């Protein structure tokens, strides 16, 4: 039996992109998780979704792990990126594209541009 921090670290180490969220990528259980999953899905990013509602230890553990109080939380190549507001801002500013490019994470640039056009 591993503890929550070990499980979280393992998920982050073994996946380029990890989204700790309420629900799953196909069935989000909160609006903020839905928004971030929606951005990643639309941009064609391959990621692991971790449903914090399925495990209370992970739900609290990820907050302690990142020292960040809210969920969802996005990790890219082992680095904590942020929650819903930060991911939304980064998507609209193009910073998320730059992060994915610099980390070698493939995504659909046209889809990212469409998000910005729709919200510009």
Cis peptide bond prior to 72, omega within 30° of 0: yes
Q: Does pLDDT of 1 surpass 80? A: no
pLDDT tens digits, one per residue of 62-83? 999 999 999 999 999 999 999 9
Whether the model pTM is above 0.85: yes
**Sign of the alpha-carbon dihedral angle for 108, 111, 112, 113:** positive
Q: Which residue positions form the known binding site?
A: 30
The whole-number pLDDT of residue 82 equals: 98
* Residues contributing to the annotated binding site for [2Fe-2S] cluster: 30
CATH for 4-119, among 3.30.200.20, 3.40.50.620, 3.40.30.10, 2.60.120.10?
Answer: 3.40.30.10
Q: At a CB cut-off of 8 Å and minimum separation 6, what does 22 contact? A: 28, 29, 30, 32, 33, 51, 52, 53, 71, 72
């Amino acid at each position: 039996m591993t503890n929550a921090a070990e499980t979280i670290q393992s998920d982050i180490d073994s996946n380029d992109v990890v989204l700790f969220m309420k629900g799953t990528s196909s069935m989000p259980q909160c609006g903020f998780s839905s928004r971030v999953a929606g951005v990643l899905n639309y941009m064609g990013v391959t990621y692991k979704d971790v449903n914090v509602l399925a495990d209370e230890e992970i739900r609290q553990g990820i907050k302690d792990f990142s020292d960040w109080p809210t969920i969802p939380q996005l990790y890219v190549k082992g680095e904590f990126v942020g929650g819903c507001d930060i991911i939304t801002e980064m998507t609209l500013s193009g910073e998320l594209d730059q992060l994915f490019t610099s980390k070698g994470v493939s995504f659909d640039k046209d889809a990212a541009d469409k998000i910005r056009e729709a919200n510009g």
